[in-house]
Structure 1
Amino acid sequence: MEEQQRHPAYLWIVRHGESAGNVARDAAQASGAARIDIAERDVDVPLSALGERQARALGRWFASLPEAERPDLVLASPYRRAVGTAEAIRAAGGLAPGTPGLLVDERLREKEFGILDRLTRAGIESLHPEQAALRADLGKFYHRPPGGESWCDVILRLRSALDTIALHHGGKRVLVVAHQVVVLCLRYLLEDMSEAEILGVDAEGDVANCGVTEYVFAPDARPGGGLALVRYNFVAPLEAQGAPVTSEPDAEAAAQ
């Protein structure tokens, strides 16, 4: 009996569109404020008007693909900005006909920042200098702020999420809508990277809002087949639709 394929045929990992948190963070950084002025919980921060435009532009790009090459399954972080991005892609016709409803998975949520939540870098250094020093010593990959997560913690839950995709969605064309750190940590897992390698990718620049990271199943990628990277941080769909490209970290991401 032929063995069932355990990997998606295609996997797209997309960071959500620009959020109100991105805008508020920029304002706080520009003014030198210690805290970022956002009323909502992080999970409830919506897309900005530009973020909605970016998400629709990405949806139109997916819609331009042949039906047999569009996503036929969508998973998203439960955060409002990720769900809103996924819904806008669907509304723009970006999914294959018959694609089931959005699957929300809390394992795809943003990295949690604990006591550093909503602080700018200046705020962290002034209000929690011991954490700034500890992070400088350990590095962002291993530093876990009190009440928050390290990159390793995010990677642990993403290992489980990838196992679920392999178990239930092998052979599907899967679109994942999530957050900057999630995009990077999934690359770490899918490409068997080291700490130094993924931090090198991170140092090259932020993941763009609605930037696309794409993988395709390759039978010879490893024994039993695997996912091969096609492109990373692909923003041509936004540029083609005239939607400005943005890449600010989220409001909570000053210490990511």
Structure 2
Amino acid sequence: MSRCVFYLVRHAPTLWNLERRIQGQWDSELAPAGLAACEILAPQLAGLALSRILASDLGRAKSTAGILNRVLRLPVTLDRRLREQHFGEWTGKYWRDIPAADIAAAEAAGWHFQPHGGESRADVRSRAEHALIDAARANAGRNVLVVTHQGVVKAVVYHLLGRAYLPDEPPAFDRRLIQQVVCQGGVLTLGQLDIDPAAL
């Protein structure tokens, strides 16, 4: 049965990322260092025999995909299911302004972490995995670059690792790394990278 291999990367850092401001499904411009990181990453990705770029429809992911595509020159598909978690009333706020007790309570909820008016991590995982499975059907036998968000990549990876997404678990995610996910027969599994990861 044909399989599809996805290479998941987080969008380049934005100005709000540097300010530790919560973006959720809002946007801010890519930081200059983020632009430079894209230019370093693109040649590494060129060796992966990629057939398509699948990206979140939020501006920072589209911009990252666009910069990478100056080298890759691939067709691009946007999917709103790959958007970052909706942070509800926390959107636009600085992390330092969120009461520590609120953050602790949210983190303790694991997959049910859900800022008021937003969505849960479980919701993010569900929509992202459906997006990947649908994309695999349309790209059987191909390699696809997925440009998305930290919350999306982490949700997919943690679910495939069987994590409870609780703060006392040992770290199992590095946002700088490219994550390989394989879809075969509608089932997602973590794969092994065959290139040196680059920082984004």
Q: TM-score, normalised to structure 1's length?
A: 0.66
Aligned counterpart, 2:43 = 60
Instruction: Please list the CA deviations of residues 100-123 of structure 1 after superposition, one character each: whole Å capped at 9, or x if unmatched.
Output: 2x1110000011111112333431
Q: SS of the residue aligned with 2:30? A: coil
Aligned counterpart, 1:212 = 178
Mapped to 1, the partners of 2:179 and 2:191 lie a distance apart of 8
Gaps of 5+ in 1: 26-35, 239-244, 247-256
Tell me if structure 2 keeps the 8 A contact 1:45–1:79: no
Task: Report the alpha carbon displacement of residue 73 of structure 1 after superposing the two structures with TM.
Answer: 1.0
Question: 1:115 and 2:106 equivalent?
Answer: no
1:44 maps to a residue whose letter is: D
Aligned counterpart, 1:24 = 19
Tell me if structure 1 keeps the 8 A contact 2:88–2:116: yes
Gaps of 5+ in 2: none
Mapped to 2, the partners of 1:107 and 1:120 lie a distance apart of 25
Question: 1:76 and 2:48 equivalent?
Answer: no
Tell me if structure 1 keeps the 8 A contact 2:25–2:85: no
When the two chains are superposed, the root-mean-square deviation of aligned CA atoms in Å is 3.3
Mapped to 1, the partners of 2:167 and 2:126 lie a distance apart of 15
Task: Report the alpha carbon displacement of residue 231 of structure 1 after superposing the two structures with TM.
Answer: 3.6
Instruction: Please list the CA deviations of residues 135-180 of structure 1 after superposition, one character each: whole Å capped at 9, or x if unmatched.
Output: 25x4342121221111111012123212312322221111100011
Match of 2:34 among 19, 37, 51: 51
Mapped to 2, the partners of 1:14 and 1:195 lie a distance apart of 22
Tell me if structure 1 keeps the 8 A contact 2:6–2:144: yes
Mapped to 1, the partners of 2:37 and 2:19 lie a distance apart of 18
Aligned counterpart, 2:132 = 162
Mapped to 1, the partners of 2:125 and 2:186 lie a distance apart of 23
How many residues of Structure 1 are paired with residues of Structure 2 in the alignment?
200
Q: Percent identity?
A: 26
Tell me if structure 2 keeps the 8 A contact 1:155–1:185: yes
Tell me if structure 1 keeps the 8 A contact 2:110–2:165: no
Match of 1:186 among 110, 131, 156: 156
Instruction: Please list the CA deviations of residues 154-211 of structure 1 after superposition, one character each: whole Å capped at 9, or x if unmatched.
Output: 012123212312322221111100011111122234x35232599846x356512xx3
1:60 maps to a residue whose letter is: P
Q: TM-score, normalised to structure 2's length?
A: 0.82
Mapped to 1, the partners of 2:83 and 2:57 lie a distance apart of 6
Q: SS of the residue aligned with 1:112? A: coil
Mapped to 1, the partners of 2:106 and 2:166 lie a distance apart of 19
Aligned pairs for 1:65-104 (under 5 A) are 65=47, 69-91=48-70, 93-95=71-73, 99-100=74-75, 102-104=76-78
Which one has the largest radius of gyration? 1
